[in-house]
Amino acid sequence: MAKISKECKKIIVKEISEKFDSADSLIVTNYKGLSAHDLDELRRELRGISGKYLVVKDSMAKKALDESRNSKISEFIEGEVGIAVDKKTDAVDISKVLVKFSKEHKSLKIRGGVMGGELISMDDIKRLATLPSREVLLGNLANVLNAPIQGLAGVLNAIICKFLYALNAVKDKKAAAPQAKPKEEDPAVEKTETIEPEKQEEKKEEL
């Protein structure tokens, strides 16, 4: 029986380790004092941003972290711990949820975490919670980068419009101007006969 229990623990530790290893952001909390209803509410809020909340015994969590690339957070593992797991690289959304929840439920204590392989403190997590989400920041960056292009397009469009306006104005002006009539020949003026050089020579010989 003891052997079976030991094998089950190994399987559980391996599963937890895989979850820790696949995460880009992990935040460790102490949840002592939270009710089952509170924990379900926290899990539901984290699921809304594609996060998870794992309640793990500290001994099993440390064993799982020994085999994980995020083993640095072992120093935050103490007592009854719940670890928020997120696959996003910025940890802003998960920080927002945890900080907000900890303000509403004083029993939830944020210890620290890891983001992109680097340790982050409780204060770092609180600062992250004040930042706009990654999607908002990317949207703002896109607007900033797009603004000069839109401005250039507007200037080019204005130049083209002015050029077309000038062409149309010239065209309208020509259409409105009276057409000059061709001059009629004066019948009183006699036409001068042009004598070719050969005929001039013939007239000379006749003389």
Mean pLDDT of 167-189: 61
The single-letter code of the amino acid at 11 is I
pLDDT digits (tens, 9 = 90+) for 67-87: 788 888 999 999 889 999 988
Percentage of the chain lying above the pLDDT 70 cut: 63
Contacts with 86 (C-beta within 8 Å, 6 or more apart), sequence order: 23, 24, 25, 26, 27, 46, 49, 50, 51, 52, 93, 94
| pLDDT, tens only, 2-44 | 555 778 888 888 888 888 888 889 999 999 999 999 999 999 9
What pLDDT is stored for residue 207 in this prediction? 46
Per DSSP, the three-state class of 151 is helix
Is the model more confident about 150 or about 56? 56
* CA-CA-CA-CA dihedral for 131, 132, 137, 143, to nearest 10: -130
Q: Going by C-beta distance under 8 Å and a sequence separation of 6 or more, which residues neighbour residue 100?
A: 129
Neighbours of 70 (CB within 10 A): 24
Is the pLDDT at 93 greater than 50, yes or no? Answer: yes
Position 189 confidence tier, pLDDT thresholds 50, 70, 90? very low
pLDDT surpasses 50 at 201 = yes
- Please report which residue ranges of the chain form alpha helices under DSSP H: 2-22, 36-47, 58-66, 92-104, 122-129, 134-176, 197-206
Percent of the chain predicted with pLDDT > 90:
32
Work out the average pLDDT over 100-105: 96
Which amino acid is present at 113? G
The answer to which of 50-54, 72-76, 189-193 has the lowest mean pLDDT is 189-193
The one-letter amino acid code at 102 reads S
Residues in CB range of 27: below 8 A, 6 or more apart? 83, 84, 86, 91, 94, 95, 98, 110, 112, 113, 125
Using alpha carbons, select from 80, 89, 85 the residue that is nearest to residue 98.
85
Amino acid at site 183 = K
Backbone φ, ψ for residue 176 (5° rounding): -80, -20
